[in-house]
C-alpha cells in the first residue's frame, strides 16, 4: 500500500512539473497580468462566429488567465463601424491553441456571433480592442487585421424588361443577325476582397445565317446607382447559332463591384 501511495504522489509531482514547464499558470487575479501578446482574429465556419484571440502573461512571461472586460470595435476598410460591444471573459474562455508559426500558446478566445456584426462594404478590415478590469484600462488599445472574412452588403443588379431584341450590324449599317434575350440571371462572388458578378444571359437567334463563318455579338453597359458608367464591352456567343437555336452564355463577368451598390445593366445592339 505504501508503494501505491508513493507512486501516486510521484505522479502528482510529475504533472505539476509538466504544467509549469509549459509556461502556463491558471489564476483569476487581474493584478497578476503584466503583458498582452499573441492577438489575432478569425472566422469560424463550423460555428458561424468569430474569435478574437489574445494571451495574458505575468511578470515571468508565463501565460495566465484572468476575469477581464474586452471592449471591441470592428471597422471595414472603408471605415464603417460594423461591430461595437464589450465582452466579459473568465478563465473558462482560455485554452491552449497551437500553430506552426507560433507553437502552442494559452489564449483567451473571445467569441462574437456572426449575427452581431453588421454587413459592411469590404470583406477585410481592422479589429480594435481594449482589455480592462471593468473600471481601469490595463493596456492601450490594440488592433489586428480581419482578412477576407467580414460580412458584406448584398449587391443588386437590375435589367431592362424582357424580352429584348438585339441586332448585330455590319459596317454599312446592314443587319447581319438578331437575337432575342429571354432571361438574365446573376451570382455574386464575395470570396475576393472586391466582389465580382457572373451574369448568365439566355436567348434565341431569330435572324441571320448559321454558316459558322460569323458569330453573334451584342454590347452591354453597367451603371451604378448615381448613373455613372462603371463598365462596358461586348458579349460574344462562342457557338455557331442557326435561326431558332437557343443559347445560354455565362461569359459576362464583371469585377471590382462595390458591396451594397445597386447597378443597372443595359444590353445593346452591336454596331461597327
In tens, the pLDDT along 100-114 reads 667 789 999 999 999
Residue 26 pLDDT grade (very low, low, confident, very high; cuts 50, 70, 90)? low
Question: Which of 10-14, 149-153, 254-258, 259-263 is predicted with the least confidence, judged by mean pLDDT?
Answer: 10-14
Alpha-helical regions (H) of 162-213: none
Give me the residue label for grid cell 471591441. Answer: 72
158-186 residue pLDDT tens = 999 999 999 999 888 899 999 999 999 99
Q: The domain spanning residue 121 has which CATH number?
A: 2.60.40
Strands (E) located in 17-163: 35-44, 49-57, 63-64, 68-76, 81-89, 94-99, 103-113, 125-132, 142-146, 156-159
Number of domains in the chain: 2
128 and 13 in a common domain = yes
What pLDDT score does 29 carry? Answer: 64
125 and 236 in a common domain = no
Domain limit, last residue, from 92, 111, 146: 146
Per-residue pLDDT at 116 exceeds 90: yes
How many CB atoms are located within 10 Å of the residue 246 CB? Answer: 12
Please indicate, yes or no, if residue 126 is contained in any of the structural domains. Answer: yes
Residue 17 pLDDT grade (very low, low, confident, very high; cuts 50, 70, 90)? very low
206 and 97 in a common domain = no
Listed ranges 18-22, 166-170, 264-268; the one with the highest mean pLDDT: 264-268
The residues, ordered by sequence, that sit 6+ positions from 261 with a Cβ below 8 Å of its Cβ are: 155, 156, 224, 225
Domain that holds residue 102: 2-146
Domain limit, last residue, from 120, 146, 172: 146
Please indicate, yes or no, if residue 172 is contained in any of the structural domains. Answer: yes
30 and 135 in a common domain = yes
| Predicted TM-score of the model (pTM) | 0.72
With residue 21 as reference, give the H or E element that holds it.
helix 2-21
What pLDDT score does 177 carry? Answer: 93
130 and 31 in a common domain = yes
Per-residue pLDDT at 56 exceeds 50: yes
Are the CB atoms for 91 and 98 separated by under 8 Å? no
CA 216 – CA 243 distance, rounded (Å): 11
167 and 210 in a common domain = yes
With residue 6 as reference, give the H or E element that holds it.
helix 2-21
Amino acid at each position: 500500500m505504501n508503494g501505491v501511495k508513493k507512486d501516486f504522489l510521484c505522479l502528482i509531482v510529475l504533472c505539476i512539473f509538466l504544467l509549469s514547464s509549459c509556461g502556463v499558470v491558471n489564476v483569476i487575479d487581474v493584478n497578476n497580468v503584466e503583458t498582452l501578446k499573441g492577438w489575432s482574429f478569425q472566422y469560424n465556419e463550423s460555428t458561424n462566429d468569430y474569435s478574437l484571440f489574445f494571451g495574458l502573461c505575468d511578470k515571468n512571461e508565463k501565460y495566465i488567465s484572468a476575469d477581464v472586460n474586452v471592449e471591441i470595435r470592428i471597422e471595414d476598410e472603408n471605415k464603417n463601424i460594423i461591430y461595437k460591444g464589450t465582452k466579459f471573459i473568465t478563465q473558462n474562455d482560455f485554452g491552449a491553441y497551437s500553430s506552426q508559426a507560433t507553437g502552442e500558446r494559452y489564449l483567451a478566445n473571445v467569441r462574437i456571433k456572426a449575427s452581431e456584426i453588421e454587413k459592411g462594404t469590404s470583406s477585410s478590415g481592422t479589429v480594435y480592442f481594449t482589455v480592462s478590469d471593468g473600471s481601469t484600462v490595463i493596456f492601450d488599445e490594440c488592433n489586428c487585421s480581419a482578412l477576407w472574412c467580414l460580412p458584406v452588403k448584398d449587391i443588386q443588379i437590375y435589367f431592362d424588361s424582357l424580352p429584348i431584341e438585339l441586332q448585330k450590324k455590319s459596317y454599312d449599317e446592314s443587319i447581319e443577325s438578331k437575337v432575342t434575350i429571354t432571361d438574365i440571371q446573376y451570382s455574386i462572388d464575395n470570396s475576393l476582397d472586391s466582389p465580382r458578378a457572373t451574369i448568365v444571359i439566355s436567348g434565341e437567334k431569330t435572324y441571320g445565317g448559321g454558316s459558322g463563318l460569323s458569330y453573334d455579338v451584342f454590347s452591354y453597359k453597367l451603371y451604378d446607382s448615381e448613373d455613372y458608367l462603371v463598365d462596358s464591352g461586348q458579349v460574344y456567343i462562342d457557338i455557331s447559332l442557326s435561326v431558332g437555336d437557343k443559347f445560354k452564355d455565362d461569359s459576362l463577368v464583371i469585377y471590382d463591384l462595390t458591396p451594397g451598390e445597386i447597378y443597372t445593366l443595359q444590353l445593346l445592339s452591336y454596331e461597327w
